[in-house]
Structure 1
Amino acid sequence: MKKITKKILLFSLVFLVGCSSTTFIYNRLDFLLPWYLESYVDLNQEQRKNLNELLEPFFEWHREEELPKYAEIIGDVELLLDEKIELSSVESITYDVEQAWFRIEDEMILWAIPMTRDLSQEQIDEFLQTMQTKTLQSEKKYLVRNLQTYQNDNYKRIRKNLRRFIGGMNKDQLDLINAASKEMIRVDGHWINNRKALIENLKLILKRDDGWELALTNITHRDDSVSDNYRKTYSHNIKVNERLFVEILNSRTEKQDKKLRSMLLRYKTDINNLIAQK
Protein backbone atom coordinates (compact mmCIF):
# COMPACT_ATOMS: atom_id res chain seq x y z
CA MET A 1 0.00 0.00 0.00
CA LYS A 2 1.42 3.40 -0.88
CA LYS A 3 2.34 5.47 2.16
CA ILE A 4 0.34 8.48 0.99
CA THR A 5 -2.86 6.49 0.39
CA LYS A 6 -2.73 5.05 3.89
CA LYS A 7 -2.06 8.52 5.27
CA ILE A 8 -5.13 9.88 3.48
CA LEU A 9 -7.53 7.38 5.02
CA LEU A 10 -5.89 7.53 8.44
CA PHE A 11 -6.26 11.30 8.44
CA SER A 12 -9.85 11.01 7.28
CA LEU A 13 -10.75 8.63 10.09
CA VAL A 14 -9.17 10.95 12.64
CA PHE A 15 -11.16 13.81 11.14
CA LEU A 16 -14.45 11.91 11.13
CA VAL A 17 -14.01 10.59 14.66
CA GLY A 18 -13.02 14.06 15.83
CA CYS A 19 -16.23 15.44 14.38
CA SER A 20 -18.36 12.69 15.86
CA SER A 21 -19.79 12.36 19.34
CA THR A 22 -19.73 8.57 19.42
CA THR A 23 -17.57 5.72 18.19
CA PHE A 24 -20.50 3.51 17.13
CA ILE A 25 -20.09 3.94 13.40
CA TYR A 26 -16.30 3.72 13.51
CA ASN A 27 -15.69 0.50 15.40
CA ARG A 28 -18.53 -1.76 14.31
CA LEU A 29 -16.86 -2.74 11.03
CA ASP A 30 -13.25 -2.15 12.00
CA PHE A 31 -12.20 -5.39 10.29
CA LEU A 32 -12.96 -3.72 6.94
CA LEU A 33 -10.19 -1.18 7.44
CA PRO A 34 -7.23 -2.38 5.35
CA TRP A 35 -4.52 -2.11 8.01
CA TYR A 36 -6.75 -3.82 10.59
CA LEU A 37 -7.47 -6.81 8.36
CA GLU A 38 -4.14 -8.46 9.12
CA SER A 39 -4.81 -8.23 12.85
CA TYR A 40 -7.67 -10.65 12.16
CA VAL A 41 -6.11 -12.99 9.61
CA ASP A 42 -2.63 -13.78 8.33
CA LEU A 43 -2.32 -13.02 4.61
CA ASN A 44 0.31 -14.60 2.41
CA GLN A 45 2.55 -12.53 0.15
CA GLU A 46 0.33 -12.95 -2.91
CA GLN A 47 -2.78 -11.94 -0.95
CA ARG A 48 -1.04 -8.82 0.36
CA LYS A 49 -0.13 -7.90 -3.19
CA ASN A 50 -3.71 -8.47 -4.34
CA LEU A 51 -5.03 -6.39 -1.44
CA ASN A 52 -2.81 -3.46 -2.39
CA GLU A 53 -4.07 -3.64 -5.98
CA LEU A 54 -7.70 -3.83 -4.83
CA LEU A 55 -7.23 -0.78 -2.63
CA GLU A 56 -5.87 1.51 -5.34
CA PRO A 57 -9.31 2.37 -6.83
CA PHE A 58 -10.71 2.80 -3.31
CA PHE A 59 -8.05 5.32 -2.33
CA GLU A 60 -8.37 7.12 -5.65
CA TRP A 61 -12.14 7.43 -5.11
CA HIS A 62 -11.59 8.63 -1.58
CA ARG A 63 -9.09 11.30 -2.58
CA GLU A 64 -11.11 12.62 -5.50
CA GLU A 65 -14.66 12.29 -4.16
CA GLU A 66 -14.57 12.34 -0.36
CA LEU A 67 -11.77 14.65 0.71
CA PRO A 68 -13.37 17.66 -1.02
CA LYS A 69 -16.58 16.89 0.92
CA TYR A 70 -14.61 16.95 4.19
CA ALA A 71 -13.28 20.38 3.27
CA GLU A 72 -16.88 21.49 2.67
CA ILE A 73 -17.91 20.23 6.12
CA ILE A 74 -15.14 22.26 7.71
CA GLY A 75 -16.22 25.29 5.70
CA ASP A 76 -19.76 24.85 7.01
CA VAL A 77 -18.48 24.71 10.59
CA GLU A 78 -16.41 27.85 10.06
CA LEU A 79 -19.51 29.70 8.86
CA LEU A 80 -21.45 28.60 11.95
CA LEU A 81 -18.87 30.24 14.20
CA ASP A 82 -19.71 33.70 12.88
CA GLU A 83 -23.13 33.74 14.57
CA LYS A 84 -25.07 32.12 17.39
CA ILE A 85 -25.09 28.37 16.79
CA GLU A 86 -28.46 26.64 16.52
CA LEU A 87 -29.12 22.98 17.28
CA SER A 88 -30.38 22.37 13.74
CA SER A 89 -27.00 23.45 12.35
CA VAL A 90 -25.11 20.99 14.54
CA GLU A 91 -27.57 18.25 13.57
CA SER A 92 -26.85 18.98 9.91
CA ILE A 93 -23.09 18.68 10.47
CA THR A 94 -23.57 15.41 12.36
CA TYR A 95 -25.62 14.03 9.48
CA ASP A 96 -22.95 14.98 6.94
CA VAL A 97 -20.21 13.30 8.99
CA GLU A 98 -22.20 10.09 9.41
CA GLN A 99 -23.03 9.96 5.71
CA ALA A 100 -19.32 10.35 4.94
CA TRP A 101 -18.55 7.28 7.01
CA PHE A 102 -21.39 5.29 5.47
CA ARG A 103 -20.01 6.02 2.00
CA ILE A 104 -16.62 4.72 3.14
CA GLU A 105 -18.30 1.53 4.37
CA ASP A 106 -19.98 0.99 1.01
CA GLU A 107 -16.72 1.46 -0.90
CA MET A 108 -14.71 -0.75 1.46
CA ILE A 109 -17.07 -3.62 0.75
CA LEU A 110 -16.09 -3.43 -2.93
CA TRP A 111 -12.55 -4.58 -2.16
CA ALA A 112 -13.55 -6.79 0.78
CA ILE A 113 -15.65 -9.09 -1.41
CA PRO A 114 -12.91 -10.13 -3.87
CA MET A 115 -10.46 -10.37 -0.96
CA THR A 116 -12.85 -12.70 0.87
CA ARG A 117 -13.15 -14.91 -2.22
CA ASP A 118 -9.39 -15.47 -2.01
CA LEU A 119 -9.26 -16.53 1.64
CA SER A 120 -8.83 -20.20 2.47
CA GLN A 121 -11.21 -21.96 4.85
CA GLU A 122 -8.42 -22.00 7.42
CA GLN A 123 -8.10 -18.22 7.11
CA ILE A 124 -11.86 -17.78 7.40
CA ASP A 125 -11.85 -19.83 10.60
CA GLU A 126 -8.93 -17.79 11.94
CA PHE A 127 -10.75 -14.55 11.12
CA LEU A 128 -13.94 -15.59 12.93
CA GLN A 129 -12.04 -16.91 15.94
CA THR A 130 -10.11 -13.65 16.24
CA MET A 131 -13.36 -11.68 16.09
CA GLN A 132 -14.79 -13.80 18.89
CA THR A 133 -11.66 -13.37 21.00
CA LYS A 134 -11.61 -9.60 20.55
CA THR A 135 -15.30 -9.38 21.42
CA LEU A 136 -14.76 -11.40 24.60
CA GLN A 137 -11.88 -9.09 25.55
CA SER A 138 -14.10 -6.05 25.01
CA GLU A 139 -16.86 -7.64 27.07
CA LYS A 140 -14.50 -8.24 29.99
CA LYS A 141 -13.06 -4.73 29.70
CA TYR A 142 -16.24 -2.69 29.39
CA LEU A 143 -19.13 -4.56 30.98
CA VAL A 144 -17.44 -4.78 34.39
CA ARG A 145 -17.82 -1.01 34.76
CA ASN A 146 -20.49 0.27 37.10
CA LEU A 147 -22.66 3.22 36.09
CA GLN A 148 -20.42 5.77 37.80
CA THR A 149 -17.32 4.48 36.00
CA TYR A 150 -19.17 4.45 32.69
CA GLN A 151 -20.28 8.05 33.15
CA ASN A 152 -16.79 9.11 34.20
CA ASP A 153 -15.33 7.48 31.08
CA ASN A 154 -17.86 9.40 28.98
CA TYR A 155 -16.87 12.63 30.73
CA LYS A 156 -13.16 12.09 30.09
CA ARG A 157 -13.71 11.12 26.45
CA ILE A 158 -15.88 14.14 25.64
CA ARG A 159 -13.58 16.50 27.52
CA LYS A 160 -10.57 15.13 25.64
CA ASN A 161 -12.26 15.56 22.24
CA LEU A 162 -13.35 19.11 23.02
CA ARG A 163 -9.93 20.06 24.39
CA ARG A 164 -8.42 19.04 21.09
CA PHE A 165 -10.45 21.73 19.36
CA ILE A 166 -10.94 24.52 21.91
CA GLY A 167 -8.32 23.93 24.60
CA GLY A 168 -8.92 24.16 28.33
CA MET A 169 -12.45 24.79 29.58
CA ASN A 170 -13.89 26.72 32.52
CA LYS A 171 -15.94 25.26 35.37
CA ASP A 172 -19.29 26.05 33.76
CA GLN A 173 -18.28 24.25 30.56
CA LEU A 174 -16.95 21.25 32.48
CA ASP A 175 -20.21 21.13 34.43
CA LEU A 176 -22.08 20.97 31.13
CA ILE A 177 -19.94 18.00 30.07
CA ASN A 178 -20.53 16.30 33.41
CA ALA A 179 -24.30 16.72 33.11
CA ALA A 180 -24.31 15.39 29.54
CA SER A 181 -22.19 12.39 30.58
CA LYS A 182 -24.81 11.43 33.15
CA GLU A 183 -27.64 11.87 30.66
CA MET A 184 -26.15 9.42 28.17
CA ILE A 185 -27.48 5.85 28.16
CA ARG A 186 -25.08 2.91 28.37
CA VAL A 187 -24.39 1.51 24.93
CA ASP A 188 -21.55 -0.92 25.66
CA GLY A 189 -23.82 -3.87 26.39
CA HIS A 190 -25.79 -3.24 23.21
CA TRP A 191 -22.51 -2.98 21.28
CA ILE A 192 -21.27 -6.33 22.61
CA ASN A 193 -24.56 -8.06 21.78
CA ASN A 194 -24.59 -6.52 18.33
CA ARG A 195 -21.00 -7.64 17.78
CA LYS A 196 -21.92 -11.20 18.74
CA ALA A 197 -24.88 -11.14 16.35
CA LEU A 198 -22.59 -9.83 13.63
CA ILE A 199 -20.18 -12.73 14.17
CA GLU A 200 -23.01 -15.26 13.92
CA ASN A 201 -24.17 -13.58 10.72
CA LEU A 202 -20.65 -13.68 9.30
CA LYS A 203 -20.35 -17.38 10.12
CA LEU A 204 -23.24 -18.01 7.75
CA ILE A 205 -22.11 -15.54 5.10
CA LEU A 206 -18.54 -16.83 5.04
CA LYS A 207 -19.66 -20.32 4.17
CA ARG A 208 -19.74 -18.56 0.79
CA ASP A 209 -22.87 -20.23 -0.48
CA ASP A 210 -24.89 -18.72 -3.34
CA GLY A 211 -25.67 -15.06 -2.70
CA TRP A 212 -23.03 -14.55 0.00
CA GLU A 213 -21.61 -11.45 -1.74
CA LEU A 214 -24.92 -9.59 -1.44
CA ALA A 215 -25.28 -10.70 2.18
CA LEU A 216 -21.79 -9.37 2.96
CA THR A 217 -22.66 -6.07 1.32
CA ASN A 218 -25.67 -5.72 3.60
CA ILE A 219 -23.72 -5.95 6.86
CA THR A 220 -22.88 -2.26 6.57
CA HIS A 221 -25.09 0.54 7.91
CA ARG A 222 -28.07 -1.05 6.15
CA ASP A 223 -27.84 -4.11 8.42
CA ASP A 224 -31.31 -4.91 9.79
CA SER A 225 -29.80 -7.17 12.48
CA VAL A 226 -28.73 -4.14 14.51
CA SER A 227 -31.18 -4.11 17.42
CA ASP A 228 -33.80 -1.39 17.76
CA ASN A 229 -32.59 -0.72 21.31
CA TYR A 230 -29.07 -0.15 20.01
CA ARG A 231 -30.29 2.30 17.37
CA LYS A 232 -32.50 4.16 19.87
CA THR A 233 -29.70 4.38 22.44
CA TYR A 234 -27.25 5.58 19.81
CA SER A 235 -29.74 8.21 18.61
CA HIS A 236 -30.38 9.39 22.18
CA ASN A 237 -26.68 9.78 22.92
CA ILE A 238 -26.10 11.64 19.66
CA LYS A 239 -28.81 14.15 20.59
CA VAL A 240 -27.31 14.63 24.06
CA ASN A 241 -23.93 15.37 22.51
CA GLU A 242 -25.39 17.71 19.91
CA ARG A 243 -27.09 19.80 22.59
CA LEU A 244 -23.86 19.84 24.59
CA PHE A 245 -21.83 21.03 21.60
CA VAL A 246 -24.27 23.89 21.01
CA GLU A 247 -23.94 25.01 24.63
CA ILE A 248 -20.15 24.69 24.67
CA LEU A 249 -19.63 26.48 21.37
CA ASN A 250 -21.99 29.31 22.25
CA SER A 251 -20.14 29.81 25.55
CA ARG A 252 -16.63 29.68 24.08
CA THR A 253 -14.17 32.38 25.02
CA GLU A 254 -12.16 34.47 22.59
CA LYS A 255 -9.14 32.26 23.26
CA GLN A 256 -11.16 29.09 22.62
CA ASP A 257 -12.60 30.59 19.44
CA LYS A 258 -9.11 31.37 18.17
CA LYS A 259 -7.89 27.82 18.85
CA LEU A 260 -10.97 26.28 17.24
CA ARG A 261 -10.61 28.33 14.08
CA SER A 262 -6.90 27.50 13.97
CA MET A 263 -7.64 23.77 14.26
CA LEU A 264 -10.26 23.91 11.53
CA LEU A 265 -7.88 25.78 9.25
CA ARG A 266 -5.19 23.18 9.91
CA TYR A 267 -7.57 20.34 9.06
CA LYS A 268 -8.68 22.08 5.89
CA THR A 269 -5.09 22.78 4.84
CA ASP A 270 -4.08 19.17 5.47
CA ILE A 271 -7.05 17.93 3.45
CA ASN A 272 -6.24 20.19 0.52
CA ASN A 273 -2.61 19.06 0.64
CA LEU A 274 -3.71 15.42 0.57
CA ILE A 275 -6.01 16.09 -2.38
CA ALA A 276 -3.08 17.58 -4.29
CA GLN A 277 -0.80 14.58 -3.69
CA LYS A 278 -0.83 11.60 -6.02
Structure 2
Amino acid sequence: MSLACARWYRPLLLLCVLAFLSGCAARLAYNTMNYWVPWYLDDYVSLTPAQASRFESELLQAQAVHRRQELPKLHQHILEFQQDLQRPLTSEQIRSYHYSFTALAEQSASVFTPPAANLLRYLSNIQIDQINSKINKELDELRVKRDKLSQKEKLQRYTTRFEKFSKEWIGSLTEEQQTIIEELAKYQLDIEPVFFSARRGLYQQWQALLSQRHRPEFDARFERLLRDVVGLRYAPVQSQLDQYLQRRFTLMAQLNQSLSSSQRQYLINKLTDTRKEIAVLIQQ
Protein backbone atom coordinates (compact mmCIF):
# COMPACT_ATOMS: atom_id res chain seq x y z
CA MET A 1 0.00 0.00 0.00
CA SER A 2 1.33 3.43 -0.93
CA LEU A 3 0.49 5.74 1.94
CA ALA A 4 0.60 9.42 1.08
CA CYS A 5 1.85 10.50 4.46
CA ALA A 6 5.09 8.66 3.84
CA ARG A 7 5.59 9.19 0.10
CA TRP A 8 8.47 11.62 0.47
CA TYR A 9 9.96 9.50 3.25
CA ARG A 10 9.49 6.26 1.31
CA PRO A 11 13.15 5.85 0.24
CA LEU A 12 14.20 5.53 3.85
CA LEU A 13 11.43 3.10 4.71
CA LEU A 14 12.44 0.92 1.78
CA LEU A 15 16.10 0.57 2.73
CA CYS A 16 15.36 -2.81 4.23
CA VAL A 17 13.64 -3.85 1.01
CA LEU A 18 16.57 -2.55 -1.04
CA ALA A 19 18.81 -4.94 0.83
CA PHE A 20 16.57 -7.76 -0.40
CA LEU A 21 17.38 -6.95 -4.02
CA SER A 22 20.53 -8.76 -5.01
CA GLY A 23 23.08 -7.17 -7.28
CA CYS A 24 25.39 -4.20 -7.52
CA ALA A 25 22.50 -1.78 -8.08
CA ALA A 26 21.21 -2.35 -4.53
CA ARG A 27 24.66 -1.87 -3.02
CA LEU A 28 25.12 1.31 -5.03
CA ALA A 29 21.71 2.64 -3.94
CA TYR A 30 22.44 1.90 -0.28
CA ASN A 31 25.94 3.34 -0.34
CA THR A 32 24.92 6.54 -2.14
CA MET A 33 21.70 7.32 -0.30
CA ASN A 34 23.13 10.62 0.92
CA TYR A 35 23.03 11.74 -2.72
CA TRP A 36 19.84 10.23 -4.12
CA VAL A 37 17.55 10.65 -1.08
CA PRO A 38 18.00 14.48 -1.13
CA TRP A 39 17.58 14.34 -4.90
CA TYR A 40 14.28 12.48 -4.44
CA LEU A 41 13.16 14.95 -1.78
CA ASP A 42 13.77 17.78 -4.20
CA ASP A 43 10.58 16.70 -6.00
CA TYR A 44 8.65 17.55 -2.83
CA VAL A 45 10.40 20.50 -1.22
CA SER A 46 13.13 23.01 -2.03
CA LEU A 47 15.71 22.87 0.76
CA THR A 48 18.10 25.65 1.60
CA PRO A 49 21.82 24.77 1.36
CA ALA A 50 22.06 24.70 5.16
CA GLN A 51 19.04 22.39 5.48
CA ALA A 52 20.36 20.06 2.78
CA SER A 53 23.84 19.91 4.32
CA ARG A 54 22.54 19.17 7.80
CA PHE A 55 20.14 16.50 6.53
CA GLU A 56 22.82 14.73 4.48
CA SER A 57 25.19 14.70 7.45
CA GLU A 58 22.57 13.27 9.82
CA LEU A 59 21.46 10.78 7.18
CA LEU A 60 25.01 9.43 6.92
CA GLN A 61 25.15 9.06 10.70
CA ALA A 62 21.88 7.11 10.70
CA GLN A 63 23.10 4.95 7.84
CA ALA A 64 26.23 4.02 9.80
CA VAL A 65 24.00 2.87 12.68
CA HIS A 66 21.73 0.97 10.30
CA ARG A 67 24.67 -0.74 8.60
CA ARG A 68 26.18 -1.81 11.91
CA GLN A 69 22.98 -2.61 13.81
CA GLU A 70 20.20 -3.59 11.38
CA LEU A 71 21.83 -5.24 8.36
CA PRO A 72 23.31 -8.10 10.44
CA LYS A 73 19.83 -8.81 11.83
CA LEU A 74 18.42 -8.93 8.32
CA HIS A 75 21.21 -11.26 7.20
CA GLN A 76 20.48 -13.63 10.08
CA HIS A 77 16.71 -13.58 9.48
CA ILE A 78 17.18 -14.50 5.84
CA LEU A 79 19.46 -17.38 6.81
CA GLU A 80 16.84 -18.73 9.20
CA PHE A 81 14.18 -18.30 6.53
CA GLN A 82 16.29 -20.27 4.06
CA GLN A 83 16.70 -23.12 6.53
CA ASP A 84 12.94 -23.38 7.03
CA LEU A 85 12.35 -23.19 3.27
CA GLN A 86 13.95 -26.60 2.86
CA ARG A 87 10.47 -27.92 3.70
CA PRO A 88 7.01 -26.54 2.83
CA LEU A 89 5.99 -23.72 5.17
CA THR A 90 2.76 -23.61 7.12
CA SER A 91 0.49 -20.59 7.28
CA GLU A 92 1.65 -19.98 10.86
CA GLN A 93 5.31 -20.00 9.81
CA ILE A 94 4.60 -17.50 7.05
CA ARG A 95 2.73 -15.33 9.53
CA SER A 96 5.69 -15.47 11.92
CA TYR A 97 8.18 -14.49 9.22
CA HIS A 98 5.92 -11.72 7.99
CA TYR A 99 5.89 -10.11 11.41
CA SER A 100 9.57 -10.70 12.13
CA PHE A 101 10.63 -9.09 8.84
CA THR A 102 8.10 -6.31 9.37
CA ALA A 103 9.63 -5.68 12.79
CA LEU A 104 13.02 -5.31 11.12
CA ALA A 105 11.58 -2.84 8.64
CA GLU A 106 9.97 -0.87 11.48
CA GLN A 107 13.28 -0.75 13.30
CA SER A 108 14.93 0.54 10.13
CA ALA A 109 12.33 3.29 10.05
CA SER A 110 13.17 4.11 13.66
CA VAL A 111 16.89 4.36 12.87
CA PHE A 112 16.21 6.91 10.15
CA THR A 113 13.58 8.85 12.11
CA PRO A 114 16.01 11.37 13.71
CA PRO A 115 17.34 12.94 10.49
CA ALA A 116 13.85 13.03 8.97
CA ALA A 117 12.26 14.50 12.11
CA ASN A 118 15.00 17.11 12.41
CA LEU A 119 14.53 18.09 8.79
CA LEU A 120 10.78 18.52 9.23
CA ARG A 121 11.29 20.51 12.40
CA TYR A 122 13.43 23.10 10.63
CA LEU A 123 11.25 23.46 7.54
CA SER A 124 9.27 26.66 7.21
CA ASN A 125 5.48 26.67 6.92
CA ILE A 126 5.89 27.50 3.24
CA GLN A 127 8.06 24.41 2.75
CA ILE A 128 5.56 22.23 4.63
CA ASP A 129 2.80 23.55 2.36
CA GLN A 130 5.01 22.70 -0.60
CA ILE A 131 5.25 19.07 0.53
CA ASN A 132 1.53 18.72 1.18
CA SER A 133 0.63 20.36 -2.13
CA LYS A 134 2.81 17.85 -3.95
CA ILE A 135 1.29 14.94 -2.07
CA ASN A 136 -2.27 16.20 -2.70
CA LYS A 137 -1.50 16.56 -6.39
CA GLU A 138 -0.18 13.00 -6.56
CA LEU A 139 -3.20 11.66 -4.71
CA ASP A 140 -5.56 13.45 -7.09
CA GLU A 141 -3.69 12.11 -10.10
CA LEU A 142 -3.75 8.60 -8.67
CA ARG A 143 -7.47 8.83 -7.94
CA VAL A 144 -8.27 10.07 -11.47
CA LYS A 145 -6.09 7.37 -13.00
CA ARG A 146 -7.70 4.59 -10.99
CA ASP A 147 -11.24 5.88 -11.57
CA LYS A 148 -10.69 5.38 -15.28
CA LEU A 149 -10.00 1.68 -14.80
CA SER A 150 -12.71 -0.96 -14.80
CA GLN A 151 -12.74 -3.65 -12.10
CA LYS A 152 -11.48 -6.09 -14.70
CA GLU A 153 -8.57 -3.82 -15.58
CA LYS A 154 -7.68 -3.32 -11.92
CA LEU A 155 -7.75 -7.07 -11.36
CA GLN A 156 -5.48 -7.63 -14.34
CA ARG A 157 -2.98 -5.10 -13.01
CA TYR A 158 -2.81 -6.83 -9.64
CA THR A 159 -2.51 -10.24 -11.28
CA THR A 160 0.30 -9.06 -13.55
CA ARG A 161 2.13 -7.48 -10.62
CA PHE A 162 1.92 -10.64 -8.49
CA GLU A 163 2.93 -12.83 -11.42
CA LYS A 164 6.01 -10.73 -12.10
CA PHE A 165 7.10 -10.79 -8.48
CA SER A 166 6.53 -14.54 -8.18
CA LYS A 167 8.48 -15.34 -11.34
CA GLU A 168 11.39 -13.25 -10.11
CA TRP A 169 11.65 -15.40 -7.00
CA ILE A 170 10.56 -18.91 -8.03
CA GLY A 171 10.87 -18.95 -11.82
CA SER A 172 8.05 -20.19 -14.06
CA LEU A 173 4.53 -20.79 -12.69
CA THR A 174 2.32 -23.85 -12.92
CA GLU A 175 -1.43 -23.64 -13.60
CA GLU A 176 -2.11 -24.34 -9.93
CA GLN A 177 0.20 -21.51 -8.87
CA GLN A 178 -1.34 -19.20 -11.43
CA THR A 179 -4.75 -19.90 -9.90
CA ILE A 180 -3.47 -19.07 -6.40
CA ILE A 181 -2.00 -15.81 -7.68
CA GLU A 182 -5.28 -14.89 -9.35
CA GLU A 183 -7.06 -15.49 -6.05
CA LEU A 184 -4.52 -13.25 -4.31
CA ALA A 185 -5.22 -10.55 -6.90
CA LYS A 186 -8.98 -10.82 -6.40
CA TYR A 187 -8.60 -10.43 -2.66
CA GLN A 188 -6.29 -7.47 -3.16
CA LEU A 189 -8.95 -5.80 -5.26
CA ASP A 190 -11.64 -6.53 -2.67
CA ILE A 191 -9.57 -4.95 0.11
CA GLU A 192 -8.84 -1.74 -1.83
CA PRO A 193 -11.48 0.39 -0.06
CA VAL A 194 -9.98 -0.55 3.31
CA PHE A 195 -6.50 0.44 2.13
CA PHE A 196 -7.79 3.75 0.82
CA SER A 197 -9.51 4.40 4.16
CA ALA A 198 -6.27 3.67 6.01
CA ARG A 199 -4.33 5.90 3.65
CA ARG A 200 -6.71 8.81 4.19
CA GLY A 201 -6.61 8.37 7.95
CA LEU A 202 -2.84 8.14 8.15
CA TYR A 203 -2.47 11.13 5.87
CA GLN A 204 -4.69 13.14 8.21
CA GLN A 205 -2.47 12.08 11.10
CA TRP A 206 0.57 13.20 9.09
CA GLN A 207 -0.93 16.63 8.46
CA ALA A 208 -1.89 17.09 12.11
CA LEU A 209 1.56 15.97 13.22
CA LEU A 210 3.34 18.47 10.98
CA SER A 211 1.49 21.31 12.64
CA GLN A 212 3.00 20.17 15.94
CA ARG A 213 6.56 19.59 14.71
CA HIS A 214 8.07 22.06 17.18
CA ARG A 215 6.70 20.27 20.24
CA PRO A 216 9.00 18.05 22.37
CA GLU A 217 6.93 14.91 21.71
CA PHE A 218 7.13 15.29 17.92
CA ASP A 219 9.96 12.80 17.36
CA ALA A 220 8.24 10.01 19.27
CA ARG A 221 4.90 10.59 17.54
CA PHE A 222 6.55 10.82 14.13
CA GLU A 223 8.38 7.54 14.70
CA ARG A 224 5.15 5.88 15.82
CA LEU A 225 3.37 7.06 12.67
CA LEU A 226 6.15 5.73 10.43
CA ARG A 227 6.13 2.39 12.20
CA ASP A 228 2.35 2.20 11.77
CA VAL A 229 2.74 2.83 8.05
CA VAL A 230 5.35 0.09 7.70
CA GLY A 231 3.43 -2.28 9.97
CA LEU A 232 0.10 -1.71 8.20
CA ARG A 233 -1.67 -0.48 11.32
CA TYR A 234 -4.65 1.85 11.40
CA ALA A 235 -7.04 1.33 14.30
CA PRO A 236 -10.41 2.16 12.63
CA VAL A 237 -9.98 -0.66 10.08
CA GLN A 238 -7.44 -2.83 11.91
CA SER A 239 -9.69 -5.87 12.16
CA GLN A 240 -10.17 -5.83 8.37
CA LEU A 241 -6.45 -5.38 7.78
CA ASP A 242 -5.70 -8.31 10.08
CA GLN A 243 -8.23 -10.48 8.26
CA TYR A 244 -6.64 -9.48 4.96
CA LEU A 245 -3.18 -10.48 6.21
CA GLN A 246 -4.41 -13.80 7.57
CA ARG A 247 -6.01 -14.62 4.24
CA ARG A 248 -2.78 -13.77 2.48
CA PHE A 249 -0.82 -15.99 4.86
CA THR A 250 -3.09 -18.89 3.95
CA LEU A 251 -2.74 -18.32 0.22
CA MET A 252 1.02 -17.82 0.47
CA ALA A 253 1.28 -21.11 2.35
CA GLN A 254 -0.63 -22.80 -0.45
CA LEU A 255 1.73 -21.26 -2.96
CA ASN A 256 4.79 -22.32 -0.97
CA GLN A 257 3.49 -25.86 -0.55
CA SER A 258 2.95 -26.09 -4.32
CA LEU A 259 6.60 -25.39 -5.14
CA SER A 260 8.53 -28.04 -6.98
CA SER A 261 12.02 -28.98 -5.78
CA SER A 262 13.54 -26.88 -8.57
CA GLN A 263 11.37 -23.85 -7.71
CA ARG A 264 12.23 -24.18 -4.02
CA GLN A 265 15.93 -24.33 -4.83
CA TYR A 266 15.55 -21.35 -7.15
CA LEU A 267 14.11 -19.34 -4.26
CA ILE A 268 16.80 -20.50 -1.84
CA ASN A 269 19.52 -19.57 -4.33
CA LYS A 270 18.04 -16.10 -4.79
CA LEU A 271 18.05 -15.61 -1.04
CA THR A 272 21.66 -16.79 -0.86
CA ASP A 273 22.60 -14.15 -3.41
CA THR A 274 20.77 -11.57 -1.33
CA ARG A 275 22.59 -12.57 1.86
CA LYS A 276 25.91 -12.24 0.06
CA GLU A 277 25.02 -8.72 -1.03
CA ILE A 278 24.01 -7.80 2.50
CA ALA A 279 27.27 -9.23 3.83
CA VAL A 280 29.18 -6.98 1.43
CA LEU A 281 27.15 -3.97 2.59
CA ILE A 282 27.91 -4.75 6.23
CA GLN A 283 31.64 -4.75 5.53
CA GLN A 284 31.73 -1.58 3.43
Q: Aligned partners of 2:187, 2:206: CA distance in 1, in Å?
A: 34
TM-superposed CA distance for 1:275, in Å, is 0.4
**Mapped contact 1:55–1:111 kept (Cα < 8 A):** yes
Decide which of 178, 186, 205 is 1:182's aligned counterpart.
186
Change (3 A) 1:232 1:173: same
Residue aligned with 1:219, SS: helix
Task: Report the equivalent of 1:150.
Answer: 154
Once the two structures are TM-superposed, the CA of residue 95 in structure 1 deviates from its matched residue by 0.8
**1:183-215 residue CA offsets vs partner (Å, 9 max, x unmatched):** 345344344444344444343333345456144
Please list the CA deviations of residues 15-55 of structure 1 after superposition, one character each: whole Å capped at 9, or x if unmatched: 5699xxxxxxxxxxxxxx76543221111222211111111
> In the alignment, is residue 79 of structure 1 matched against residue 83 of structure 2?
yes
Does the 8 Å contact 1:135/1:192 carry over to 2? no
Q: What is the match of residue 273 of structure 2?
A: 266
CA distance, structure 2, for counterparts of residue 176 and residue 225 of structure 1: 26
Distance 1:180 1:117, change over 3 A: closer
CA-atom RMSD in angstroms: 2.9
Specify whether residues 196 and 83 from structure 1 end up closer, same or farther in structure 2 by C-alpha distance, changes over 3 A only: closer
The CA distance in 1 between the partners of 2:135 and 2:13, in whole Å, is: 23
Give TM-score scaled by structure 1 length: 0.80
Per-residue deviation, 1:141: 2.4
What residue identity is the alignment partner of 1:275?
Answer: I
Of residues 225, 234, 238 in structure 2, which corresponds to 1:226? 234
Aligned position for 2:263: 256
Percent identity at matched positions?
Answer: 19
* Range 148-157 or range 159-168, more displaced: 148-157
- Distance of aligned partners of 1:41 and 1:80 in 2 relative to their CA distance in 1, 3 Å threshold: same
State the shift of 1:130 in Å. 1.0
Distance 1:211 1:193, change over 3 A: farther
Question: How much does 1:166 deviate?
Answer: 0.7
**1:176-215 alignment to 2 at 5 Å?**
176-184=180-188, 186-208=190-212, 210-211=215-216, 213=218, 214-215=220-221
**1:232 offset after TM fit, Å?**
3.3
Among 101, 119, 125, the alignment partner of 1:115 is 119
C-alpha distance in structure 2 between counterparts of 1:155 and 1:254, whole Å:
24
Q: 2:130 aligns with which of 126, 130, 139?
A: 126
Conservation of the 8 A alpha-carbon contact between 1:135 and 1:195? no
> What secondary structure sits across from 1:220 in the alignment?
helix
Normalising by structure 2, report the TM-score.
0.78
Report the alpha carbon displacement of residue 99 of structure 1 after superposing the two structures with TM.
0.7
For the Cα contact (< 8 Å) 1:64–1:275, is it kept in 2?
yes
Task: Choose which of 40, 52, 56 in structure 1 pairs with 2:56.
Answer: 52
The answer as to 2:166 corresponding to 1:166 is no
Alpha-carbon distance between aligned partners in 2 of 1:145 and 1:232, rounded to the nearest angstrom: 28
1:252 and 1:144, CA in 2 relative to 1: closer, same or farther beyond 3 A?
same
Work out whether residues 143 and 188 of structure 1, in 8 Å CA contact, stay in contact via their aligned partners in 2.
Answer: no
Is the CA contact (8 Å cut-off) linking 2:45 and 2:131 kept in structure 1? yes
The answer for unaligned runs of 5 or more in structure 1 is: 1-6, 19-32
Q: Is the 8 A contact 1:159 1:177 kept in 2?
A: yes
Judge which range, 218-227 or 241-250, deviates more: 218-227
Kindly tell me: are residues 12 and 105 of structure 1, through their superposed partners in 2, closer, same or farther at Cα, counting changes over 3 Å?
closer
Q: Secondary structure at the match of 1:100?
A: helix
Residue 106 of structure 1: aligned partner = 110
Q: Determine whether 1:37 maps to 2:41.
A: yes
- The gaps in structure 2 that reach 5 residues or longer are 1-10, 23-36
Equivalent pairs, count? 256
User: Which of the pair has the greater relative contact order for Cα pairs under 8 Å at 6+ separation?
Assistant: 2
Q: Is the 8 A contact 2:19 2:278 kept in 1?
A: no
